[in-house]
Structure 1
Amino acid sequence: MSARFSDTAVQVEGLTRSFDGRAVVNGLDLTLRAGEFTALLGRSGCGKSTLLRVLAGLDRDITGTVLVPRRRAVAFQAPRLMPWAGLAQCAARVAGQARTGGGRAGVGGGRARARSGAWPKTLSGGEAQRASLARALVREPDLLLLDEPFGALDALTRIKAQQLVAELWQRRGCAVLLVTHDVDEAMLLADRALVMRDGAIAYETPVDLDRPRTVAGPGFAALRSRLLTELGVAEDTAPARAA
């Protein structure tokens, strides 16, 4: 294990969250290491988003132990921008972090600065999602939680947003938990992939692929096949992404 993953960012033991007497998260154990990018896969209804909400502190009706960093941030599939608030303040704070000596990057570069005076309703889907990520990252979190943040984007915008997240994570070094249904997305971004089933972590594997990654890279197809099998999906029915 790499030395940069030596510290624990999240420790979950015996976590249970029930709704109407049914355990959606059931005795779950999970460790996330500092600086590690972890992807969480699973079928709809398996408890992925419930777990993320618990880690974000948005759901406290639980049993078990949940230890998380004090500084954490969340980005959801819907950007959830405030319609009455412009983007200038958020963009200014991000730009303020992008000083040459600080080793930090702004979100979206010059395009984001040019649009900093825009109102949320005038933004494209990609611009709105970059603004959402900026809002999360200006807090300089030790834990970044991503709940299907690219799901509503078109294919090209999605690829650009994924590349942006990968770049920002590598520069900032926080722990990341990405909830996704997209196996290829998990493999392109993550150091480790988890499969959630019946309210618990049923399978995990390191993603030992060289960066930068492509779907045509060595080892990608074999790992994709293994994860699809764990998800109960026949490989010939799964959508393939172009290299």
Structure 2
Amino acid sequence: MSAVRIRGLRRSFGAQPVLDGVDLTIGQGEFVALLGRSGTGKSTLLRILAGLDDGYTADELARPDSLAVAFQEPRLFPWLRVWRNVTFNLPDADLRGVARAALAEVELSEKEDAWPLTLSGGQAQRVSLARALARRPELLLLDEPFGALDALTRVSMHQLVDRLWQRHRPAVLMITHDVEEALTLADRVLVLDGGVLAADLRVTRDRPRRLDDPELRAARDDLLGLLGVRLQHS
């Protein structure tokens, strides 16, 4: 069963095509990472899936009604306490209980009554994830969610996202510029180039993954080559 089915997706800005016939299938519960150089249309594809861009044409575009998005910027409302940010626009009657459960999963129970501006960058991103998970999505869209974090916080967030994904098993599409991040988290790594998906690499290593694994190192080199990075080996 597929969570996402796309055929012949096209999107242009003026006379410039950005997506030029993208075909993509994401299985239920599958974690997919999407790489590509800047300006290749990664975030445009995610925004279309999120329902935030309707200026496209497609032969087919199917996605679940239940989806959630987490962006690079946490996009929290500074005038709402953390727990109210988590449950914003949710219809559930026990909103406080929903917020507490979601915040416990991201290890931020003690911050439920805090104001967003008192949080660190990593804490704010955890709240953003809690807000997404509180919606119990079948499809979770992550738009470079760790790009603004320092290296140590990114490692911690990778472990958290992996743990949450294994617990809830939504289908995930994660946009990233970081090849090692993609190989750490994803079942499949895609490369978007020239308006189409130019590569689709399946990652078969068990979790947790070690990036010094020869198979993952070879995959890393292949992906960097596809992204135009020339490697010099001694």
Same fold (TM over 0.5): yes
What is the rounded CA distance, in whole Å, between the counterparts of 2:232 and 2:167 in structure 1?
A: 37
Q: Deviations over 1:155-209 (max 9, x none)?
A: 1111101110010000001100010000000000000000000111011110111
Q: Deviations over 1:96-130 (max 9, x none)?
A: 36xxxxxxx93322xx1111111111110000000
What is the rounded CA distance, in whole Å, between the counterparts of 1:236 and 1:152 in structure 2?
A: 28
Q: CA offset at residue 94 of structure 1?
A: 4.2
Aligned match of 2:61:
66
Contact 1:94 1:107 (8 Å CA) reproduced: no
Matched, 1:48 2:42: yes
What is the rounded CA distance, in whole Å, between the counterparts of 1:86 and 1:9 in structure 2?
A: 33
Matched, 1:106 2:122: no
Aligned match of 1:83:
78
Matched, 1:155 2:135: no
Q: CA offset at residue 78 of structure 1?
A: 0.3
Correspondent of 1:195 among 191, 195, 200: 191
AA in 2 matched with 1:161: M
Aligned match of 2:98:
93
Correspondent of 2:20 among 26, 35, 47: 26
What is the rounded CA distance, in whole Å, between the counterparts of 1:183 and 1:106 in structure 2?
A: 30
What is the rounded CA distance, in whole Å, between the counterparts of 2:81 and 2:209 in structure 1?
A: 35
Aligned match of 1:102:
none
Q: CA offset at residue 231 of structure 1?
A: 1.2
Q: Deviations over 1:130-167 (max 9, x none)?
A: 00011111001000000000000001111101110010
AA in 1 matched with 2:148: A
> Any unmatched runs of 5+ in structure 2?
87-95
Correspondent of 1:207 among 177, 182, 203: 203
> Any unmatched runs of 5+ in structure 1?
1-6, 98-104, 238-243
Moved segments of 4+, more than 4 Å: none
Q: CA RMSD in A?
A: 1.5
Per the normalisation by structure 1, the TM-score is 0.88
Kindly report which structure 2 residues correspond to 1:207-226, keeping only aligned pairs within 5 A, or say none: 207-226=203-222
Correspondent of 1:185 among 181, 186, 197: 181
Aligned length: 222
Q: CA offset at residue 234 of structure 1?
A: 1.4
Aligned match of 2:93:
none
Contact 1:73 1:144 (8 Å CA) reproduced: yes
CA gap 1:38/1:215 in 2 versus in 1, 3 angstroms: same
Matched, 1:126 2:122: yes
Q: Deviations over 1:8-54 (max 9, x none)?
A: 00000111111112111111110011010000000000000000000
Aligned match of 1:100:
none
What is the rounded CA distance, in whole Å, between the counterparts of 2:29 and 2:104 in structure 1?
A: 19
AA in 1 matched with 2:76: L
3-state SS, counterpart of residue 141 of structure 1: coil
3-state SS, counterpart of residue 82 of structure 1: coil
Per the normalisation by structure 2, the TM-score is 0.91
Q: CA offset at residue 218 of structure 1?
A: 4.1
